[in-house]
A and B are shown apart, each in its own frame.
Chain A
Amino acid sequence: MGTKGRFGIHGGQYIPETLMNAVIELEETYKKYKNDPAFIEELDDLLKTYAGRPSLLYYAERMTKDLGGAQIYLKREDLNHTGSHKINNALGQILLAKKMGKKRVIAETGAGQHGVATATAAAFMGMECEIFMGKEDTDRQRLNVYRMKLLGAKVHAVTSGTQTLKDAVNETMREWTRRIDDTHYVLGSVMGPHPFPTIVRDFQSVISKEARQQILEAAGRLPDVVMACVGGGSNAMGMFYNFINDKSVRLIGCEAAGRGIETGKHAATLTTGTEGIFHGMKSYFCQDEYGQIAPVYSISAGLDYPGIGPEHAYLHDTGRAEYVAVTDDEAVEAFEYLSQVEGIIPAIESAHAVAHAIKLAPQLDKDKIVIVCLSGRGDKDVAAIARYRGIDIHD
């Protein structure tokens, strides 16, 4: 299979002809600028002066002591401007959109973090912005909907299908086919047709570029385990990327097991999915025997997606990365645990990775090092977690 943008057999460009020239233009623009010193400097400067990079690598001493095993470090993407790793990619793609002469950006969002990051970058760059978000997600993440509106974006509640992230992607793709000339689709994860999985991974790889350097400075050696939560997989791909060639480093992605794999109410693509073609890529998907995409579920709107980026599918196939499934209950417990033990409220997405760290760290020796990517902060989730605990808070 020699077509473009492949990770093993995964990836490719399975999209309507109407969009082909747009992705070709994007690929050519990216090729032109990705090694251009002026472009790199412009983006680095934005990341530093606007987004607040580098983000901290924080030694979670109390958590480490409490768990009694491996030393735990948190890569604090939650401290970025807008509160998550999504800003890394949004700024990069908006710069590319500018270079292509686009005046308008559109984007899908699940939990709203990518929508907020895109709306922020668009406001900052003076571009028009429209965000597509599943109706169910606009209900459970009302705070982020209002944030996007504050930032000047128009938010469309998507009422088709399951009214969650996959449907938001469908609708953003449809909108892109309607209006291409002046519009760039800021895809928020390492998924979709080539070149998106590569572009988003490159923009997010700043996470592991910093973390690798930071841990060498702090501990004088490479970590033993690096882990992150996985929906489409952008913070995980960013966290893994610069460690892929360090064969001694275990890479672990944490998928959403929802109410439990056995209940069928989950979004654990690599644990239960099969090979398929959807949203522009060949990868693994939760689907039935006829290829109908399954309605998936997770307490976390950002992980509530029936597919996974093609590079993750490849890392899974080759065994370079491991993927585990974490339930709603475990994630909520981790959400509360990190809040109480470290005074850090994580996004419910990131809490899936924290939950696995809580399980894994005690099994490892005290001289082992684990880095957990804290992809976002949890302010947006406070009301939902309260509801989960039976406390009625109106956000």
Chain B
Amino acid sequence: MTKIQDAFKNEKAFIAFITAGDPDLATTEKLIAAMAQNGADLIEVGIPFSDPVAEGPVIQQASKRSLDNGTTTDGIFAMLKTVRQRVNTPIAFMTYANLLFAYGKEKFFARCNEVNVSAVIIPDIPYEEKDEFFEYANKEGVEVISLIAPTSAQRVGMIARKAQGFIYLVSSLGVTGVRSEITTNLDDIVKIIRENTNLPIGIGFGISTPDQAQKAAATADAAIVGSAIVKLVAKYGKNAPGPVGEYVRKMKKAVVKAAQ
């Protein structure tokens, strides 16, 4: 099993998200390969949910397109099995608690292990509810990523101390989506996280430009980009692997600059 920490071995990392099955699973397979080839250090694969409460309109619409095409959790596992024949880059799932719960926690994480998915990000599982999933995930060698938000305040240390894999630091209030400016002072939160854990930190929500990515990677260890990539997929459809690959290369370059 690939360790999620492998994604951070090159100092600064670029983490790329796509919604599986948008526009179809065959394209998702090509997109994952294109992102890996162009320098993505970790690929987040979103399993679409009918009611994604943490997502902005871009990922909401991608989820809808995917589900309307009949994408299922089983279909995504099958697609990843094929992908794994040519892509070694660490992969994490991003999805909602109900999909794991409905699939069966044991079965879900066993299948993660089978297709070498190293971690899961579940935005509707806060620290208080984590035990319900951590145990089953860890048994299969899968790590559950904790999110820390600008509103976490006194909770930051507590969450960081029990975290696994990496810390997903949410850059700003609100849902996922491109923002022209990120105004939260993240330096203070990063400092508290560092005092409580040695795990790497990725900053996500709102990042779309190379400048924002470079800034995030300089503040933390990685920049996470979702909506900006999903927008390209929405625009180019089946022809998205080219433009997405190009975008990832540009963003990765910006992130590497942060290390210099």
Give the B-binding residues of A (Cβ under 8 A): 1, 3-4, 12-22, 160-161, 166-167, 170, 173-174, 177-180, 274-280, 285, 287, 289-293
Q: Which residues of chain A come closer than 8 Å to B49, judged between CB atoms?
A: 291-292
Tell me the complex Cα distance, A19–B56, Å.
16
Question: Do the beta carbons of A4 and B128 come within 8 Å of each other?
Answer: yes
Tell me the complex Cα distance, A173–B151, Å.
15
Q: Given that A12-B129, A16-B123 are known contacts, is A22 also in contact with B174, CB under 8 Å in the complex?
A: no
Of B101, B126, B152, which is within 8 A of A13 by CB?
B126
Q: Which residues of chain A come closer than 8 Å to B149, judged between CB atoms?
A: 16-18, 20
Q: Which residues of chain B come closer than 8 Å to A279, judged between CB atoms?
A: 53
Question: Do the beta carbons of A277 and B175 come within 8 Å of each other?
Answer: no
Q: Given that A17-B147, A17-B149 are known contacts, is A277 also in contact with B97, CB under 8 Å in the complex?
A: yes
Q: Given that A178-B174, A178-B175 are known contacts, is A16 also in contact with B101, CB under 8 Å in the complex?
A: no
Q: Which residues of chain B come closer than 8 Å to A1, judged between CB atoms?
A: 132
B16 close to A (CB within 8 Å): no
Question: Do the beta carbons of B98 and A277 come within 8 Å of each other?
Answer: yes
Tell me the complex Cα distance, A22–B125, Å.
15
Q: Given that A160-B60, A161-B51 are known contacts, is A21 also in contact with B126, CB under 8 Å in the complex?
A: no
Question: Do the beta carbons of A289 and B54 come within 8 Å of each other?
Answer: no
Question: Do the beta carbons of A290 and B99 come within 8 Å of each other?
Answer: yes
Q: Which residues of chain B come closer than 8 Å to A177, judged between CB atoms?
A: 54, 173-175
Add 12 more A-B contacts to A13-B126, A293-B51 (CB < 8 A): A3-B128, A3-B131, A14-B129, A17-B127, A17-B151, A18-B170, A160-B60, A276-B102, A277-B96, A277-B101, A290-B74, A293-B98
Tell me the complex Cα distance, A180–B173, Å.
8
Q: Which residues of chain A come closer than 8 Å to B152, judged between CB atoms?
A: 17, 20-21
Closest B residue, CB atoms, query A292: B50
B150 close to A (CB within 8 Å): yes
Q: Which residues of chain B come closer than 8 Å to A290, judged between CB atoms?
A: 72-74, 99, 102-103
B229 close to A (CB within 8 Å): no
Tell me the complex Cα distance, A278–B52, Å.
10
Tell me, rounded to whole Å, the shortest Cβ–Cβ distance linking A236 to chain B.
Answer: 24
Query: Which one of B50, B64, B67, B153 has the highest number of Cβ atoms from chain A below 10 Å of its Cβ?
Result: B50
Interface of chain A, main secondary structure:
mixed
Query: Which one of A13, A166, A276, A277 has the highest number of Cβ atoms from chain B below 10 Å of its Cβ?
Result: A277
Closest A residue, CB atoms, query B149: A18
B155 close to A (CB within 8 Å): yes
Query: Which one of B72, B101, B124, B173 has the highest number of Cβ atoms from chain A below 10 Å of its Cβ?
Result: B124
Of A13, A166, A278, A285, which is within 8 A of B129 by CB?
A13
Q: Which residues of chain A come closer than 8 Å to B73, judged between CB atoms?
A: 290
Query: Which one of A17, A160, A173 has the highest number of Cβ atoms from chain B below 10 Å of its Cβ?
Result: A17
Tell me, rounded to whole Å, the shortest Cβ–Cβ distance linking A166 to chain B.
Answer: 7
Question: Do the beta carbons of B127 and A20 come within 8 Å of each other?
Answer: yes
Give the A-binding residues of B (Cβ under 8 A): 49-51, 53-54, 56-57, 60, 64, 67, 72-74, 96-103, 123-129, 131-132, 146-153, 155, 159, 170, 173-175
Tell me, rounded to whole Å, the shortest Cβ–Cβ distance linking B230 to chain A.
Answer: 16
Tell me, rounded to whole Å, the shortest Cβ–Cβ distance linking B105 to chain A.
Answer: 11
Q: Which residues of chain A come closer than 8 Å to B101, judged between CB atoms?
A: 275-277, 291
Tell me, rounded to whole Å, the shortest Cβ–Cβ distance linking B218 to chain A.
Answer: 23
14 contacts between A and B (CB under 8 A): A15-B126, A16-B126, A19-B151, A20-B127, A21-B152, A167-B51, A174-B54, A275-B101, A287-B98, A290-B73, A290-B103, A291-B98, A291-B99, A291-B100
Tell me the complex Cα distance, A4–B174, Å.
25
Closest B residue, CB atoms, query A167: B51
Q: Which residues of chain B come closer than 8 Å to A13, judged between CB atoms?
A: 126, 128-129
Query: Which one of B97, B103, B146, B153 has the highest number of Cβ atoms from chain A below 10 Å of its Cβ?
Result: B97
Q: Given that A177-B174, A277-B98, A278-B98 are known contacts, is A16 also in contact with B128, CB under 8 Å in the complex?
A: no
The 3 A-B pairs with the shortest beta carbon distances in the complex, nearest first, are A291-B102, A178-B174, A18-B149
Q: Which residues of chain A come closer than 8 Å to B173, judged between CB atoms?
A: 18, 177-180
Q: Which residues of chain A come closer than 8 Å to B126, judged between CB atoms?
A: 13-17, 20
Closest B residue, CB atoms, query A280: B124
Q: Given that A180-B173, A292-B50 are known contacts, is A14 also in contact with B151, CB under 8 Å in the complex?
A: no
Tell me the complex Cα distance, A291–B99, Å.
5
Tell me the complex Cα distance, A277–B95, Å.
12
Question: Do the beta carbons of B155 and A20 come within 8 Å of each other?
Answer: yes
Closest A residue, CB atoms, query B147: A17
Q: Which residues of chain B come closer than 8 Å to A289, judged between CB atoms?
A: 102
Question: Do the beta carbons of A15 and B124 come within 8 Å of each other?
Answer: yes
Q: Which residues of chain B come closer than 8 Å to A19, judged between CB atoms?
A: 151
Tell me the complex Cα distance, A6–B209, Å.
43
Tell me the complex Cα distance, A13–B127, Å.
10
Q: Given that A161-B50, A178-B174, A276-B98 are known contacts, is A292 also in contact with B147, CB under 8 Å in the complex?
A: no
Query: Which one of B56, B100, B101 has the highest number of Cβ atoms from chain A below 10 Å of its Cβ?
Result: B101
Q: Which residues of chain A come closer than 8 Å to B131, judged between CB atoms?
A: 3
Query: Which one of B53, B60, B129 has the highest number of Cβ atoms from chain A below 10 Å of its Cβ?
Result: B53
